[in-house]
Structure 1
Amino acid sequence: MSAIITRRMLARGIGRIAAVTLLGAVLVSCGDEKAPQAEGRPVGVVTVEAGQFSDDVQLSGEIQAKKDVSLAFRIGGRVLERPVNVGDQVKAGQVIARLDPALEQNALAAAKAALEAARGEVSTARSTFERQERLMAQGFTTRPRYDQARRAQETAQATLENAEAQVELAQDRLGFTALRTDVAGVVTARRIEPGEVIQPGQVVVQIARDDSRDAVFNVPAAVLDTHLSDARIRVALADAPAVTAYGSVREVAPQADPVTRTFAVRVGLQDPPEAMRLGSTVVGTIELTTAAIVSIPASALTQQGRSPAVWVVDPAKSTVSLRDIDVLRFDAGTIILSQGLAPGEIIVSAGAQALHPGQRVRLLPGQLPSSRQQAAVSP
């Protein structure tokens, strides 16, 4: 009886040992397999790209002639006529105004009479000198008389030359009584009226030349501090914005206006349309462009301590790391950086609030990344 009980207990022990051995073998085989990696956190990503930041400044101005010519008489006198008015189109060589020529005509007549008298004196003095020269050769005259005749001839010749110059001067002054323009353009101002007695150099009319036009703006000093000379300026009529022309800065006033404290800037227009007449009000758009900069979406911005930062994706490991950045300025939905990121780097633009350094990431469902972004966020 006892032998039978002993054999049953031994069989139960052997079964338990086999079960334990089998369980251990199963556990050992399971331990040889690698545990599955954790799935990356879904995020949105963007590739950092360098660009140029542009800002437009609009100013009001007017169309002016590139060159204005002020015409004046070289001599004084009474204005006889002024056949042109403001707005008239004039051609080169056209008469703008005339002075009363009576005085100059009388001066010319007197100069011509003096010229004829000088010619007579020269003829007489030459004959006298030739006679004294013959007598001197024969010994029938004295040296003082010979020298006197020679000096008289020289004096008469000088008087003749002076009379000829006076005639030319009188003819020029008579020609100066007619004021002609040597350029084509439009009369923009008149300063005298017929019947007035004017002085030499007094402006009669002002003409805007037809060869080119400028757009003139009053620019604040803050805008001058930028690279204004390199800017491309778009000029449009205030009452017809579709009429446009482009130009560049041609001249900047060296001194500010004492009232407005602005600087007059002249923009040379390239092939302006006919609708941009002199005096037209225009709006100039100055397209200011900075050097190469980096901009990122505002959603990518996070914080590390008190410094702004972004999550940068490692393309090889699909992990993220936190990096400090320097912000140049904030725009609507965009952040302009001064430094901290390089073009070509990949950053997290969505889902950055719950990340930690070294965490694996994957692409958000529905996002269509570039090939570089797809490689960076593959699980």
Structure 2
Amino acid sequence: MSITYRKIVHPNGALRVVPFVLLGALAGCGQEVAKTPEIRPVRTVVIDPKPIDDDRQAVGEIRARQEIDVGFRMAGKLVARTVDIGASVKKGDVLARLDEQDYVNRLRSADADVIAAEAVLSEAKGAENRLGQLLASGTTTRPNYDAALKNLRSAEARLDSAKAALALAKDQLGYAQVRADFDGIVTATGAEPGQIVSAGQMVVRLANPEEKDAVFAIAESAFRDRSPNDRPEILVSLLSSPNVTTEGVVREVSPVADPVTRTYLAKITLKNPPEPMRFGASVSGRLKTTTAPVAVIPGSALFDKGGKAAVWIYQKAGTVTLKSVVVARYEADRVVVSEGLAKGDIVVTAGVNRLREGQKVRLIEGAAE
């Protein structure tokens, strides 16, 4: 208790000093008022693990399973290309031609060389025959006959060489044209008439329309928990018309990731692809499988526990406890949990970063779904 004195002026003008008594707080300085525990309202979801369709999708395109670059076996000037992109060709059809004049001249020269070699051979045969008779009668020497025999053998060899050159010249003249190796469709061209092309340069790209592949760039996570020899079935549909679908089987997966995108090229052989699935068409593909029973929760329910995924579980006592889970995969608006949650668990889905172990909470009306 403390006393304070104040001056008060009386109505008659007299000045008086009046003491005021101030009472101190009864409570000690070290005492605090007890606080009511905070009870946070939360939204929750009731866990019911079920198998779900593997709805992860990839976008790719339709390509030919058999596609070859057609070019000339020798260099020359391209004088004609008889097909354009999109043209259908039959086996043996001429696709392009080089200037043939040089090869025609080579063929004529080789033909003349054969005729000359045949004449030399005929002369050598006659000389060998005559000297052989003279050697038998003793009117010539052995060295003379041996020289004639050597000339005969040389003439025979030159004729063989001339015939080989003639066959090569004929082949080269034939190589001045490129023909289709199978019935197909032209998907690209690489040279125009008047252009000088080198041996092996792509002039026309030819694809077999009977066999089609759907080609996708697949992330590394898609191969998790799968055997390297696993060849699952894939459901493929057109992006422009999802009702146009077909099935396929994984035929080939690239063993090396793309150095830029870090994805793997997967080729899916299509079973009886519909006509609208033309080369270059954009398609989507997903696994034609279902998962083991899993729990699906909103992404907002996840909590980071030492770098690992966890969720807050609502208990009957009205408190929450943190539980670690194993995430199978992350999707756009949800998380698929493969381990850690059981049927009937109540998971908090909102405000998880403001909760603490054992905290009292209350369910928002209709929050447990």
Scaled by the length of structure 1, the TM-score of the pair is: 0.65
Q: Could you say which residue in structure 2 is the equivalent of 1:84?
A: 83
- The answer to whether the 8 A contact 2:254-2:264 is kept is yes
In the alignment, the residues of structure 2 paired with residue 337 and residue 120 of structure 1 have an alpha-carbon distance, to the nearest angstrom, of: 89
Tell me which amino acid in the other structure corresponds to 1:213: K
In structure 2, relative to structure 1, the CA distance for the partners of 1:326 and 1:78 (3 Å cut) is: closer
Tell me which amino acid in the other structure corresponds to 1:154: R
In the alignment, the residues of structure 2 paired with residue 111 and residue 67 of structure 1 have an alpha-carbon distance, to the nearest angstrom, of: 38
Q: Could you say which residue in structure 2 is the equivalent of 1:237?
A: 238
- The answer to whether the 8 A contact 2:110-2:169 is kept is yes
Q: Could you say which residue in structure 1 is the equivalent of 2:120?
A: 121
| CA displacement at 1:183 relative to structure 2 | 1.4
Q: Could you say which residue in structure 2 is the equivalent of 1:366?
A: none
Q: Could you say which residue in structure 2 is the equivalent of 1:171?
A: 170
In the alignment, the residues of structure 1 paired with residue 112 and residue 69 of structure 2 have an alpha-carbon distance, to the nearest angstrom, of: 37
Residues 175-224 of structure 1 deviation map (CA, whole Å, 9 limit, x = unaligned): 11111011121111111111111111111111111221111111111112
* Secondary structure of the corresponding residue to residue 275 of structure 1: coil
Q: Could you say which residue in structure 2 is the equivalent of 1:213?
A: 212
Residues 237-265 of structure 1 deviation map (CA, whole Å, 9 limit, x = unaligned): 11111100111111112222222221111
Residues 1-59 of structure 1 deviation map (CA, whole Å, 9 limit, x = unaligned): xxxxxxxxxxxxxxxxxxxxxxxxxxxxxxxxxxxxxxxxxxxxxxxx99855422111
Q: Could you say which residue in structure 2 is the equivalent of 1:261?
A: 262
Query: Who wins on radius of gyration, i.e. which is larger?
Result: 1
In the alignment, the residues of structure 2 paired with residue 241 and residue 307 of structure 1 have an alpha-carbon distance, to the nearest angstrom, of: 45
Tell me which amino acid in the other structure corresponds to 1:269: L
Q: Could you say which residue in structure 1 is the equivalent of 2:185?
A: 186
Q: Could you say which residue in structure 2 is the equivalent of 1:312?
A: none
* Secondary structure of the corresponding residue to residue 106 of structure 2: helix
Two-structure CA RMSD over aligned residues (Å): 3.4
Tell me which amino acid in the other structure corresponds to 1:257: D
| Percent of residue pairs bearing the same amino acid type | 37
In the alignment, the residues of structure 2 paired with residue 222 and residue 144 of structure 1 have an alpha-carbon distance, to the nearest angstrom, of: 85
In structure 2, relative to structure 1, the CA distance for the partners of 1:130 and 1:64 (3 Å cut) is: same
In the alignment, the residues of structure 2 paired with residue 164 and residue 348 of structure 1 have an alpha-carbon distance, to the nearest angstrom, of: 90
| CA displacement at 1:307 relative to structure 2 | 12
In structure 2, relative to structure 1, the CA distance for the partners of 1:259 and 1:303 (3 Å cut) is: same
1:90-105 correspondence to structure 2 within 5 Å? 90-105=89-104
Q: Could you say which residue in structure 2 is the equivalent of 1:38?
A: none
| CA displacement at 1:78 relative to structure 2 | 0.9
- The answer to whether the 8 A contact 2:54-2:286 is kept is no
Scaled by the length of structure 2, the TM-score of the pair is: 0.67
Q: Could you say which residue in structure 1 is the equivalent of 2:45?
A: none
| CA displacement at 1:327 relative to structure 2 | 6.7
Residues 137-163 of structure 1 deviation map (CA, whole Å, 9 limit, x = unaligned): 110000110100000100001011111
Long gaps (5+) in structure 2: 1-47, 297-312, 346-369
* Secondary structure of the corresponding residue to residue 62 of structure 1: strand
Long gaps (5+) in structure 1: 1-48, 309-324, 342-346, 350-379
- The answer to whether the 8 A contact 1:293-1:338 is kept is no
Q: Could you say which residue in structure 1 is the equivalent of 2:135?
A: 136
Runs of 4+ more than 3 Å apart: 49-54, 287-290, 292-296, 301-308, 325-332, 335-341
Tell me which amino acid in the other structure corresponds to 1:198: V
In the alignment, the residues of structure 1 paired with residue 204 and residue 53 of structure 2 have an alpha-carbon distance, to the nearest angstrom, of: 44
Residues 321-356 of structure 1 deviation map (CA, whole Å, 9 limit, x = unaligned): xxxx99766999xx9775999xxxxx999xxxxxxx
Tell me which amino acid in the other structure corresponds to 2:241: A
Q: Could you say which residue in structure 2 is the equivalent of 1:283?
A: 284
- The answer to whether the 8 A contact 1:71-1:204 is kept is yes
Q: Could you say which residue in structure 1 is the equivalent of 2:253?
A: 252
- The answer to whether the 8 A contact 1:82-1:97 is kept is yes
- The answer to whether the 8 A contact 1:115-1:164 is kept is yes
- The answer to whether the 8 A contact 1:96-1:181 is kept is yes
